[in-house]
Structure 1
Amino acid sequence: MNEYKTKEQKIKFYKSNEWKKLRIKVLKRDNYECQECKRKGLVYTDKHDPDKHKRLDVDHLKDIEHYPRLALDINNCEVKCVRCHNKKHNRFRFQKKKNKWNDEMW
């Protein structure tokens, strides 16, 4: 059974031909649409945003770090837009700063 605990192991996995093939299958299965947005009644595809950094990811529903045997299981994967994928993993780079001043009118 493969282990994906270190950053190097994960990088090697995500560069593997097996993962690349599975990723394409998942994108096709999910019609190139973010499944999280779809559950909210929205449609998001990679065609909706011209910014090349906003793309679709294939997310492991159960992380490969904890469930390595599910790493190549198509039923453990779904398409998510980068925003939804980052939200799931609490990876927000730009968080709104709280105003340290109380600007409330008297």
Structure 2
Amino acid sequence: MPNLNHYKKKRHLVWREKVLKKAGGLCEECRRYGRLDADGLPVRATVAHHKKPIDEYPELAYAVSNGQALCAMCHNRKHPEKGRKH
């Protein structure tokens, strides 16, 4: 797992914004399965997830194509080992 300081670096924050913007600010998994929020609206994405882990694929750390915009719930599903910290 990358150093937690990695997530605060400007390069990561720029990558995160590009991933979220590419998805229109919506959770890609919720959109895929037709899930809506409590108000019946599309679920907003809050996390940029690396599809291929950066500890195994450091060369893809800032590739927007390796990013997936997710809500916290979907991100937790992708990472049960993190104990639902998001």
Shorter chain as denominator, the TM-score bin is 0.7 to 0.9
Q: How many residues align?
A: 77
Deviation per CA, 1:17-69, whole angstroms, max 9, x where unpaired? Answer: 111111111111111100000110122016xxxxxxxxx10000011111111
Moved beyond 6 Å, runs of 4+:
none
Letter paired with 1:45: R
Unaligned runs of 5+ in 2: 36-41
Matched, 1:20 2:13: yes
Unaligned runs of 5+ in 1: 47-55, 94-106
Which secondary structure state, in structure 2, belongs to the residue aligned with residue 59 of structure 1?
Answer: strand
Structure 1 length normalisation: TM-score? 0.65
Counterpart in the other structure of 2:24: 31
- Percent identity among equivalent residues? 35
Counterpart in the other structure of 2:47: 57
Structure ranking higher in helix proportion? 2
Structure 2 length normalisation: TM-score? 0.79
Q: What is the root-mean-square deviation of aligned Cα atoms in Å?
A: 1.6
Q: Which one has the largest radius of gyration?
A: 1
Matched, 1:74 2:73: no
1:15 deviation in Å? 1.2
